[in-house]
């Protein structure tokens, strides 16, 4: 039973969303502010966190910033229509998805299911194939200094661990599977998001910027993700 942490200072949202998620079979832990949410997410680690942005004691952005120092748990932000700038910052800090208030409970459930599916480990009984070939069931991708293990959701560069969110991992995986091949933003959206989840170009761009920043923190000379302006992105051939 997946565990979901819900952090929001609106008790009506806490109650209604908890009842909806529990009806879908999820275990839900609720917190009324960012400070208690951070403590709960750190000690009682969930499979996914849903965070409001505007909260007392510690807002959702600060909560995510501190959380990302310790965890790569998938995060969905609840945001108001006038918080576009916050959405951009949230993506750069590693949020996986945004839902604008007011929202339908069904939409939230579908987003939760989509992210948990993406975060789920691969079936170890799947038939094996050549390393890194799409659709073969082989989870390990090796591209020069890059090694990605889909079953363990781990990524290393020159032997150093690079911690990625679910969305970042899927975008990098789509690029690394076919080095030299340009992937449009639409293709990367398809790789990282389910069909029912709409994201725009800036979302992919923000994830790419964060990917580069994480790898450059490990290796300042990292230049493997190339931009082809007006076309998309590609993983450099070695």
CATH fold match for the domains 3-119 and 140-235: no
Among the listed residues 56, 57, 58, 61, the one whose alpha carbon sits nearest the alpha carbon of residue 77:
61
d(CA 152, CA 139): 9
Are 156 and 172 in contact by the 8 Å Cβ rule? The answer is no
Contacts of 173 (CB under 8 A, 6+ apart): 141, 148, 150, 191
The angle at the Cα of 56, spanning 92 to 115, to the nearest 5 degrees, equals 40
User: Where along the chain do its domains lie?
Assistant: 3-119, 140-235
**Per-residue confidence (pLDDT) for residue 124, from 0 to 100:** 43
**Residue-by-residue pLDDT tens, the chain, 238 positions:** 899 999 999 999 999 999 999 999 999 999 999 999 999 999 988 999 999 988 888 988 899 999 988 888 899 988 875 555 566 666 667 788 888 788 888 888 888 988 887 776 544 444 444 444 444 445 789 999 999 988 777 899 999 988 887 788 889 999 999 999 999 988 888 887 755 455 566 778 888 988 998 899 999 999 999 999 889 999 998 7
Place of tokens 């951070």: 38
**Per-residue confidence (pLDDT) for residue 36, from 0 to 100:** 93
Could you tell me the CATH superfamily of domain 3-119? Answer: Response regulator (3.40.50.2300)
Q: Which helix (H) or strand (E) holds 22?
A: helix 11-23
Q: The domain 140-235 is classified under which CATH number: 1.10.10.10, 3.30.70.330, 3.40.50.10130, 2.40.160.210? A: 1.10.10.10
């Amino acid at each position: 039973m997946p565990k979901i942490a819900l952090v929001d200072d609106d008790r009506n949202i806490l109650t209604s969303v908890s009842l909806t998620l529990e009806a879908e079979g999820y275990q839900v832990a609720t917190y009324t502010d960012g400070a208690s949410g951070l403590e709960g997410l750190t000690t009682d680690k969930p499979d996914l966190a849903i965070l409001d942005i505007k909260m007392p004691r510690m807002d959702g952005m600060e909560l995510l910033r501190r959380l990302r120092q310790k965890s790569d748990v998938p995060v969905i932000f609840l945001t108001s229509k006038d918080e576009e700038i916050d959405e951009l910052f949230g993506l750069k800090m590693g949020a996986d998805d945004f839902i604008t208030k007011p929202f339908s409970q069904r939409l939230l459930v579908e987003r939760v299911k989509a992210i948990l599916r993406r975060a789920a480990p691969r079936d170890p009984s799947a038939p094996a194939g050549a390393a890194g070939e799409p659709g073969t069931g082989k989870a390990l991708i090796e591209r020069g200094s890059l090694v990605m293990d889909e079953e363990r959701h781990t990524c290393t560069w020159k032997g150093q661990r690079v911690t990625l969110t679910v969305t970042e991992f899927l975008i990098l995986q789509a690029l690394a599977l076919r080095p030299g091949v340009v992937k449009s933003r639409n293709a990367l959206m398809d790789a990282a998001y389910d069909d029912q989840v709409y994201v725009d170009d800036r979302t992919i761009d923000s994830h790419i910027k964060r990917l580069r920043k994480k790898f450059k923190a490990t290796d300042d000379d990292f230049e493997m993700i190339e931009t082809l302006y007006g076309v998309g992105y590609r993983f450099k051939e070695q």
